[in-house]
Amino acid sequence: MQPPPPLPPAEYAARRSGLLERLSPGSVAVLGGARQVLRNGDAHYRFRQNSDFWYLTGFPEPEALLVLRPGADDGIESALFCRGRDAHSELWDGARAGPERAAELYGLDAAYDVSQIDDLLTGWLDGADTLYSPSHRDPVLRRLIARTVGRVREQGGQRPKRRADILPLIHGARLCKSDGEIERLRYSAQVAAAAHRRAMRSVQPGQWEYQLEAEYLHEFMRHGAREAAYCGIVAGGANACVLHYTDNDRQLRAGELVLVDAGCEYQGYASDITRTFPVDGAFTAPQRDLYQVVLAANEALIDGIHQGSTKQELEAGAVRLLTRGLVDLGLLSGDVDALIEDGAHRTYYMHGVSHWLGLDVHDAGPYTEDRGRRSRTLHPGTVFTVEPGLYIAPDSADAAEHWRGIGIRIEDDVLIRPDGAVEVLSGDVPKSVEGITELMRQANPS
């Protein structure tokens, strides 16, 4: 697997141009990047850039800001504010681009030391039409805006006429992935798929869940995906019925399934794959029967996707397929339509079947269109998950004993290619009972 190189500055510049075109003339937009966060004492969490900021700049350092000024008279439409060069800090923490180099390196019109933001922004806001900023409550950005707007007034200038949220414009653009983004999402999914294959080959009864998690992290890192995209779920036996189980600290036992929901992040792009497989390489009859229902739902949903399908159709399809399967297994009884009407499936299937995937694992972007009137169509360039599951809690009073404590999810990452074809990005990891058991048998012949 060949890790794709960083996206070129021209791609970020094109994203900014697209956004600038959608801002009203004479307006100013201000966005903040992520800051370093202390973990304890003097130790920080590993820095991760804010996804919107990364999308528009590709700038990897903390404490930065971006100001956009459509049609600015001085030609500075995109200005970055970043930490200044500082020999002492750079000796301890590594090189900074600094305002002297950042504009050229990242393809912006200008870059300034972050200490200049108050003065420059105050001047730019004077007489501005609209001030765009993110609606989320970033206290540092909120204080900066309050301070600079206040200064405009103190200096006898004209405050911006209007305020507007910039996030819907950015998130709308993030929904449709470029060729460069698709290449990185594909790679991220290929690495995560390799990690799932590695886990299937190496899992053993007696292993601790965190030891299996280590196999994933090793495979991610080995391929240049330095972070997991989210806290991985490695859930043996009944732990799989806890939807967000992340303790991952119990010993895996023969006869159990292990559900692993794990994906990596490559250049910011996430994968999100779940597989459920037997710790000792063999499914028991109830495990297999329940597994086949989830697998059939996963496959039917993916087979049914076409340009113009909607997210709502996927959700409704999942409920129908899983409800019918539960009736076939005797876990529910009655008429399928009536059961769906009553929401009877919610005892055993209680989450959504799909979400957007991109820079965030639950990616930004609207789920409706036409002012919320219709579910959004899965159009070319969208990437999303398909993740049906069934979870029979160990204390489930209505389920026969042999079903209890079995939790299964099968999650794939799906792209609608620009030509309309459907591509399963996570297709390199087996999901059929035969495919999984064969891979496990080859790794442990006996």
Q: Assess 412 for contact with ligand GLY (CB under 6 A).
A: no
Please say which residue, 354 or 437, places its beta carbon nearer to ligand GLY.
354
Q: Assess 27 for contact with Mn ion (CB under 5 A).
A: no
Chosen residue from 52, 272, 363, 412 binding Mn ion by CB under 5 A: 272
CB of 337 to Mn ion, least distance (A): 28
Hey, what are 172's tokens? Answer: 């709308």
Please say which residue, 213 or 411, places its beta carbon nearer to Mn ion.
411
Q: Assess 413 for contact with ligand GLY (CB under 6 A).
A: no
Q: Assess 181 for contact with ligand GLY (CB under 6 A).
A: no
CB of 400 to ligand GLY, least distance (A): 28
Please state at what angle helix 179-202 crosses helix 433-443, rounded to 10 degrees: 60
Hey, what are 445's tokens? Answer: 């012949």
Please say which residue, 301 or 399, places its beta carbon nearer to ligand GLY.
301
Size of the site for ligand GLY (CB under 6 A): 7
Chosen residue from 81, 124, 220, 230 binding ligand GLY by CB under 6 A: 230
Please say which residue, 122 or 426, places its beta carbon nearer to ligand GLY.
426
Q: Assess 276 for contact with Mn ion (CB under 5 A).
A: no
Please say which residue, 126 or 272, places its beta carbon nearer to ligand GLY.
272
> Of Mn ion, ligand GLY, none, which one does residue 382 interact with (CB within 5 to 8 Å by kind)?
none
CB of 353 to Mn ion, least distance (A): 9
d(CA 298, CA 318): 8
Please say which residue, 72 or 361, places its beta carbon nearer to ligand GLY.
361
Q: Assess 384 for contact with ligand GLY (CB under 6 A).
A: no
Triad 187, 193, 199: Cα angle to 5°? 140
Size of the site for Mn ion (CB under 5 A): 4
Interface map 331-370 toward ligand GLY (x if CB under 6 A): ------------------------x-----x---------
Chosen residue from 61, 272, 363, 412 binding ligand GLY by CB under 6 A: 272
d(CA 341, CA 325): 16
CB of 240 to ligand GLY, least distance (A): 13
* Position with the least CB separation from Mn ion: 261
Q: Assess 261 for contact with Mn ion (CB under 5 A).
A: yes
Tell me, what amino acid is at 108? Answer: L
> Of Mn ion, ligand GLY, none, which one does residue 230 interact with (CB within 5 to 8 Å by kind)?
ligand GLY
Residues forming the active site: 42, 244, 261, 272, 351, 355, 362, 387, 391, 409, 411
Strands 412-416 and 406-409: unpaired
Within 10 Å of residue 338's Cβ, how many Cβ atoms? 10
Chosen residue from 57, 385, 396, 437 binding Mn ion by CB under 5 A: 385
Residue 136 C-beta-side C-alpha neighbours within 13 Å: 9
Q: Assess 261 for contact with ligand GLY (CB under 6 A).
A: yes
Strands 264-266 and 257-262: unpaired
Catalog residues that contact Mn ion under the rule CB under 5 A: 261, 272, 385, 411
Catalog residues that contact ligand GLY under the rule CB under 6 A: 230, 261, 272, 355, 361, 387, 411
